[in-house]
């Protein structure tokens, strides 16, 4: 992660022997004056994917509310651990999704951070439906045909994911275990690059958020089989639900939230939460999300309390589902 100008100045100052003065201005910054410099929101996946897309939607109205620039950084899968180790001053924020709650069960002691102890929650952002999609020339035309095809071809079929524990991986596992098949998994740094390969017909299918798939489905550059919500969604009204297509157990949506390192002062968290709520109430954010099949959470869920409650409940749920043997 590249340090913002405030941190870069502090580092240079330290090198020049001015460390005491500038360090006091940096990590010891007055929470009442926050923010005095750019805020970075780090996404733990490659740029161009759905988590990045949602981050970009909220960044501008949050920046206006905070009165500073917000820069986004694609941090890769190690980003959560890196943010946990940053100064708890509110200048480095993590955007993460459901993967924050599956990581403890998947990685056990190998996980470099504790999602609860090492962070403070800022608030939930959105819950995004998933879609099951395939390359445009993949043989099956419906989910029913897809089931038969995958059961007949198993490991010849390739499934793109954003790596173990990613939403695409969870949805893909739900699907393949419901069908009793083992396909060949092709992991990417995020489903942005995975989508490029799906459109390019390099990989067969993927289960991913509507924030990454709606445009391609509408334009016909990929084939779509089903959406994983109980009801059809307005952005893709012709797409059947998994239940309608005979797979009611494939029901999952991907919640997202913002985090800061543990130890971040209350005053800073409160300002970030207020900025998040401003962004989620912004009509252009609501419209952009609607166009991609999702909505902002209700504002009383864009709070640290509601976010922590969901995070802890989801960690317990996924520990039961995945098992606590570690990854
Ligand atoms: N959609 C990805 C996932 O499967 C993450 C991303 O690239 O934003 O979790």
238 domain residue, yes or no: no
Using a 6 Å cutoff on CB, does residue 49 contact ligand 1? Answer: yes
C-alpha 169 – ligand 1 centre gap (Å)? 9
Ligand 1, atom nearest to 162 Cα: 4
How far does the centroid of ligand 1 lie from the alpha carbon of residue 15, in Å? Answer: 38
In a domain, 212, yes or no: yes
Q: Which of 149, 49, 36, 64 is nearest to 97 (CA)?
A: 49
* CA gap 175, 271 in Å, rounded: 40
- Residues 259, 119, single domain; the answer is yes
Kindly give the distance from the C-alpha atom of residue 17 to the centroid of ligand 1, in angstroms, as a whole number. 43
Count of structural domains, the chain: 2
Domain-located, residue 298: yes
Q: Is 261 in the pocket of ligand 1 (CB under 6 A)?
A: no
Q: Which residue has the higher pLDDT, 11 or 62?
A: 62
Least confident of 25-29, 46-50, 317-321: 25-29
pLDDT tens digit string along 150-176?
999 999 999 999 998 899 999 999 899
Ligand 1 mean position, distance from CA 86 (Å): 23
pLDDT in tens, 207-259: 999 999 999 999 999 999 999 999 999 999 999 999 999 999 899 999 999 99
Residues 107 and 136 in one domain: no
Q: Work out the burial of residue 80: count CB atoms within 10 Å of its CB; fewer than 13 is exposed, 13-18 middle, 19 or more buried.
A: buried
Query: Under DSSP, is residue 57 helix (H, G, I), strand (E, B) or coil?
Result: helix
**Does the C-beta of 34 come closer than 6 Å to ligand 1?**
no
pTM of structure: 0.89
> Is ligand 1 within 6 A of the CB of residue 192?
yes
* CA of 52, closest atom in ligand 1: 8
Q: How far is the CA of 5 from the centre of ligand 1 (A)?
A: 29
Print the domain residue range for 30.
Answer: 5-127+255-324
110: pLDDT strictly greater than 50: yes
Q: Is residue 80 part of a domain?
A: yes
Let me know whether 14 and 79 are in one domain: yes
Beta bridge partners of 205: 134, 159
Query: Rounded CA gap, 33 and 19, in Å?
Result: 21
Instruction: Kindly give the distance from the C-alpha atom of residue 200 to the centroid of ligand 1, in angstroms, as a whole number.
Output: 18
* C-alpha–C-alpha distance, residues 246 and 302, integer Å: 34
d(CA 124, CA 303): 7
257, two tokens: 């939230």
| Residue 228 to residue 178: CA distance in whole angstroms | 14
Ligand 1: residue whose CA is nearest its atom 7? 190
- For residues 233 and 294, give the distance between their C-alpha atoms in angstroms, rounded to a whole number: 8
What is the distance between the alpha carbons of residues 308 and 141, in angstroms, rounded to a whole number? 41
| Alpha-carbon gap, residue 315 to 295, rounded angstroms | 23
């Amino acid at each position: 992660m590249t340090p913002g100008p405030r941190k870069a100045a502090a580092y240079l100052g330290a090198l020049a022997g001015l460390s005491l003065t500038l360090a006091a201005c940096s990590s010891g910054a007055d929470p009442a004056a926050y923010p005095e410099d750019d805020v970075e929101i780090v996404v733990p996946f490659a740029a161009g994917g759905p988590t990045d897309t949602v981050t970009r939607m909220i960044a501008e109205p949050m920046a206006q509310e905070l009165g500073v620039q917000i820069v986004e950084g694609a941090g890769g899968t190690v980003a959560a651990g890196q943010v946990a180790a940053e100064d708890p001053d509110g200048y480095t924020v993590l955007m993460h999704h459901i993967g924050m709650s599956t990581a403890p069960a998947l990685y056990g002691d190998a996980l470099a951070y504790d999602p609860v102890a090492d962070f403070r929650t800022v608030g939930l952002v959105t819950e995004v439906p998933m879609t099951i999609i395939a390359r445009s020339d993949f043989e099956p035309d419906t989910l029913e045909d897809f089931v038969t095809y995958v059961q007949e071809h198993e490991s010849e079929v390739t499934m793109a994911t954003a790596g173990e524990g990613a939403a695409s991986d969870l949805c893909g596992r739900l699907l393949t275990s419901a069908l009793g098949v083992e396909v060949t998994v092709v992991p990417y740094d995020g489903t942005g690059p995975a989508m490029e390969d799906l459109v390019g017909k390099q990989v067969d299918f993927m289960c991913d958020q509507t924030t990454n798939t709606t445009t391609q489905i509408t334009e016909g550059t990929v084939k779509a089989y089903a959406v994983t919500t109980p009801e059809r969604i307005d952005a893709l009204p012709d797409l059947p639900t998994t239940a309608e297509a005979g797979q009611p157990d494939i029901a999952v949506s991907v919640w997202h939230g913002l985090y800061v390192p543990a130890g971040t002062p209350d005053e800073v968290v409160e300002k970030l939460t207020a900025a998040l709520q401003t962004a989620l109430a912004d009509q252009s954010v609501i419209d952009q999300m609607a166009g991609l099949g999702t909505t902002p959470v209700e504002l009383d869920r864009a709070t640290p309390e509601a976010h922590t409650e969901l995070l802890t409940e989801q960690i317990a749920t996924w520990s039961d589902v995945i098992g606590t043997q570690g990854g």
